[in-house]
Structure 1
Amino acid sequence: MILSLLLIPALGFLIFCLLLSSSSNKLYVNIKKLTPKLSPPSLGCLISFYKNRHRLLSWYTELLSESENQTIVVHRLGAPRTVVTANPDNVEYMLKTNFANFPKGKPFTELLGDFLGLGIFNVDGEMWSVQRKLASHEFSTKSLREFVVQVLRDEVAARLIPILENAAEDNGVLDMQEVLRRFAFDTICKVSLGMDPSCLDMSRPAPPLSSAFDAASELSAMRGAAPVFAVWKLKRALNVGPEKDLKDAVRTVRGCVDEMIRCKKETMAAGGGGGGGGGGDLLSRFLGAGMESEMVRDMVISFLMAGRDTTSAALTWLFWLLTWHRDAERRAVEEIGDGYGGSCGRELGFDDLKEMNFVKACLCETMRLYPPVVWDSKHAARDDVLPDGTPVFRGNRVTYFPYGMGRMEALWGKDRLRFRPDRWLDDAGAVKMVSPYKFPVFQAGPRVCLGKEMAFIQMKYVVASVLARFELVPVRPEPPVFVPQLTAYMAGGFSVRVRRRGGVM
């Protein structure tokens, strides 16, 4: 689930250039079966793009909506075609039916290769298959699920709730996005590495791993903003500018993880850590399975990347949406109260979380409108034809666009822009089965997100813990700006005042 777009509005054009994978500045867009078609090169298209540079996501969504088959083809002189689609049949074909013909591809893996190495999210073929099988086994175990819930209990009770309590007491302004982001990093480090970075402890400085990880993520995304693909490669060869900073940040991240692996191995060799896997965290499990240290390191870094900001982004947008839809918030609070048995003193268990259907519906509706990853691309290994008849040639970039898909009238109806959680529930109040190719925020097919259920557990736990006790009141009245980077975020943060919730609980 990793690609970048629109670091800031001023960089929008440069990132669009990366999507189109060329240094040429002449392009045209062909919206299939619509007229008039633009002929290359088209100054009109460049002018249109410049006019829409501050609303690229909306513009792309409009182009796809106008297309008869929700697919557009972008041409640039001297570069392969780029196919962008919001058509679920095409998405299923890419991610499942003809999965083998649509790997991530070298253009993608090169961008993140220095940071993620040979981890599961940055490799194709046999190396991906080996890691996937091992990770899939571990993610399906009951023991990992129980470990995750215990980590959440500890982090929520010891850190998240006290921070919100203090904010309510002081009537101060709190950046909820930053709090949730720090919470997510603490949680994923405990689950993946078995270590506590204490990012949510505001009295302590950020640990080296956290700071270096932030820098490596941002600098890797900057590669995607380069107007010419070769520029960052030249800077890397010369070891100058952002590439030097990236190299230093990656060295710190890998050094920290390597040291944890060394210590974990020593503990396991001495018989500590418990269990055949050496402990409940993923690092212990992978080492216990006999994996080489370098592959374990890269896998763990990939999981840190995947779990660091995606859940916090979804939660930030959900809490904002609920402040504008208090009726939905009231329904969520009532459902949460039933899960708690009427008392916040009782600990939530996995079964309690599983029953929170309306909360899950709210989360799905949030991610439909504000997906943590706006789009994802594959690269065709051979010539092909998509189900809607669009030809794809070897080396073409084929991109599916979850942000636009969530706004297609053909997929979600005339009220597609409304926050309406009930669209996810059947008449009995159970969560409906929706095709993952219509709602591909967790990908689908062989590469479907292994942490999907873990993510829902974490998000439900946080939503329940916060809404049962507090009401969030936004400080700014204007709608926030949605900014997709490696993971989407809310520009300027989500500043709120915290009020204790009275009444039911």
Structure 2
Amino acid sequence: MAILEYPQIFLLPLFSFLFLCLWRRSHIRPQRTSLIPINWPLIGMLPRVLREANRIHEFATEVLRESGGTFIIKGPWFSNVEMVVTGDPANVHHILSKNFSNYPKGPEFNKIFDILGDGIFNADKVLWETQRRTTMSLVNHSKFQKFSERTSWNKVKRGLIPILQHATEKGLEVDLQGLFERLTYDSVCILVLGHDPASLSIDLPHIPSEKAFGEAEEAVLYRHVLPESIWKLQKWLDIGKEKKLTKAWKAFDHFLAHCIAMKREELIKRKAQSAQNDHQEEEDLEDADLLTPFLEAYKGMSGESGNCDKFLRDALLSLVFAGRDTTSAALTWFFWLLSTNPLLETKIRKEIKANMTINPDNDKYWRLFDIDVLNKLVYLHGALCESLRLFPPVPLQHKAPLEPDILPSGHRISKNMKTVISFYSMGRMESIWGKDCLEFKPERWISDQGGIKHVPSYKFVAFNAGPRSCLGKDMSFTQMKIVAAAIVHHYHVEVVQGHPISLSNSVVLHMKHGLKVRVTKT
């Protein structure tokens, strides 16, 4: 009688037993020729997804190749989870451009990326349009562009080069990825917040807000894979990846609140001063950070964020996130690819030398490259594009339709169905890039006339596509060229023998173990 009255008591053990049996079977059965996961009764494709969780980007690529570019992942029956994963350029063009209004970030995206609040990455409609319009007007301003170029040069000259020179003289190994992360973090904090954390120095100081990015990004990726109920339980219990995410959240909030408070005090003092600075042009460049105009633009604003301080926190964190990790990841993979292709490194070095101008104030370690010279480095630009194709800093994009839709591939998508675009997989599809898609070929990007070929954004998706395409694309290329030209001209980078190279489990495509290298003078 008790069994009939409380059957649910026995359901969980029954399903657990069935899950373990199927899990064991999936491990001991003979190797299948198909890479597409089995859709098991009750538990769906969860066993295979969990088994591949530590190589999720490679797994998605294998499945998309076999399935023709689009695949539907089915979760356990009790989770009611279905996810569309695609790498088909026609689908990408449809989702990100043609039917853009039907694919906002949506509530599911906001749950997964809740740490970014109402910033430009999460925002939709009026809030997104306001932030994008404001940011675009600031980023495209000539004063800000000059400020950005000068900031990058100064960080390379005063921060990166001394560290590399020290490593060269002492014969030390350095983690190039770590140095790039510090360089881009310092740079973007100066540009966005008007504050230099000074993390890029020989003693490599521990900066909690700088280190928090990696932990936050790893936790966010796992939220894409795990059912919402599981990661929410981890968050409630304050364990696992969610515990690290909470710690990172606190570090971001503390740092941003400090920067905003300092900027407010600075503006108050400035208004109290009546005398003009003799070096007004220099001061203008130093005041070209984005926090100052954001403070003015959103003073007293009470939108979806509820108050101005929270809005500023969310908007600024999104911009710091965009500028710190994407560029550092791109540079890391670029130098790894270059280390495996020494002939291409030589070709880039010759191009730099042929177009180089000498700065009359140069010292024995430094020669400044003019921005016009950087624009002439076509082969370097092509090599950076090729690196971004193979290792896009943001390897996936998450969408959810407002209304049911049919993709160009013929796949039906229901309302609010999680839709993931695998940018990483797209760079490895023969159907998009040809049989040599896995080769590192800068020539792929150079036209017969010697310029850079135009490739549609829905095919080359490193900077997203459609209305949400990256606002800082040109600025990112300039910074990458500045760093790459300085290092390649002065040093030869060699990866430490035996150092493991693998993808990190993160929403930003870092190297899991960093990039340990030795540098020698050229």
Q: Identical aligned pairs, as a percentage?
A: 33
What is aligned with 1:20?
A: none
Runs of 5+ consecutive residues of structure 1 not aligned to the other structure: 1-24, 29-33
What is aligned with 2:459?
A: 438
Structure 1 residue corresponding to 2:326, chosen from 285, 307, 310: 310
Task: Note if contact 1:217-1:486 (Cα within 8 Å) is conserved in structure 2.
Answer: no
- Give the drift of 1:203: 3.0
d(CA) in 2 for partners of 1:394, 1:176 = 44
Relative distance call for 1:442 and 1:177 in structure 2 (3 A) is: same
Structure 2 length-normalised TM: 0.82
What is aligned with 2:192?
A: 192
The answer to whether the aligner puts 1:381 opposite 2:402 as a matched pair is yes
Written as runs of structure 1 = structure 2, the 5 A alignment for 1:354-433 is 354-433=375-454
- Give the drift of 1:464: 0.4
What one-letter code is carried by the residue in structure 2 that aligns with 1:156? Answer: V
Secondary structure, counterpart of 1:483 in structure 2: coil
What is aligned with 1:319?
A: 335
d(CA) in 2 for partners of 1:231, 1:48 = 17
Larger Cα Rg: Structure 1 or Structure 2? 2
Written as runs of structure 1 = structure 2, the 5 A alignment for 1:24-423 is 41=41, 48-49=48-49, 52=52, 55-68=55-68, 70-76=69-75, 77=77, 78-113=79-114, 115-203=115-203, 205-211=205-211, 213-214=212-213, 217=216, 221=220, 224=223, 227-233=226-232, 242=243, 245-246=247-248, 248-270=250-272, 279-291=287-299, 292=301, 293-294=308-309, 295-341=311-357, 346-423=367-444
d(CA) in 2 for partners of 1:128, 1:416 = 35
Runs of 5+ consecutive residues of structure 2 not aligned to the other structure: 1-22, 27-33, 302-307
Relative distance call for 1:214 and 1:52 in structure 2 (3 A) is: closer
What one-letter code is carried by the residue in structure 2 that aligns with 1:488? Answer: L
- Give the drift of 1:372: 1.1
Relative distance call for 1:204 and 1:318 in structure 2 (3 A) is: closer
Structure 1 residue corresponding to 2:476, chosen from 455, 473, 481: 455
What one-letter code is carried by the residue in structure 2 that aligns with 1:487? Answer: V
Secondary structure, counterpart of 2:493 in structure 1: strand
Relative distance call for 1:35 and 1:134 in structure 2 (3 A) is: closer
Over residues 382-404 of structure 1, what are the superposed CA-to-partner deviations in whole Å (9 max), with x where a residue is unaligned? Answer: 01111122111101111111111
Secondary structure, counterpart of 2:464 in structure 1: coil
d(CA) in 1 for partners of 2:439, 2:382 = 14
Task: Note if contact 2:55-2:505 (Cα within 8 Å) is conserved in structure 1.
Answer: no
- Give the drift of 1:468: 0.6
d(CA) in 2 for partners of 1:175, 1:256 = 29
d(CA) in 2 for partners of 1:481, 1:37 = 23
Superposed CA RMSD in Å reads 3.0
Task: Note if contact 1:313-1:372 (Cα within 8 Å) is conserved in structure 2.
Answer: yes
d(CA) in 2 for partners of 1:189, 1:74 = 39
d(CA) in 2 for partners of 1:331, 1:419 = 14
- Give the drift of 1:352: 1.7
Over residues 271-317 of structure 1, what are the superposed CA-to-partner deviations in whole Å (9 max), with x where a residue is unaligned? Answer: 68968999211112323445444223321111111111111111111
d(CA) in 2 for partners of 1:230, 1:452 = 37
Relative distance call for 1:226 and 1:84 in structure 2 (3 A) is: closer
Would you say how many aligned residue pairs link Structure 1 and Structure 2? 467
- Give the drift of 1:446: 0.7
Over residues 191-227 of structure 1, what are the superposed CA-to-partner deviations in whole Å (9 max), with x where a residue is unaligned? Answer: 111111000123363345435x447725753762784
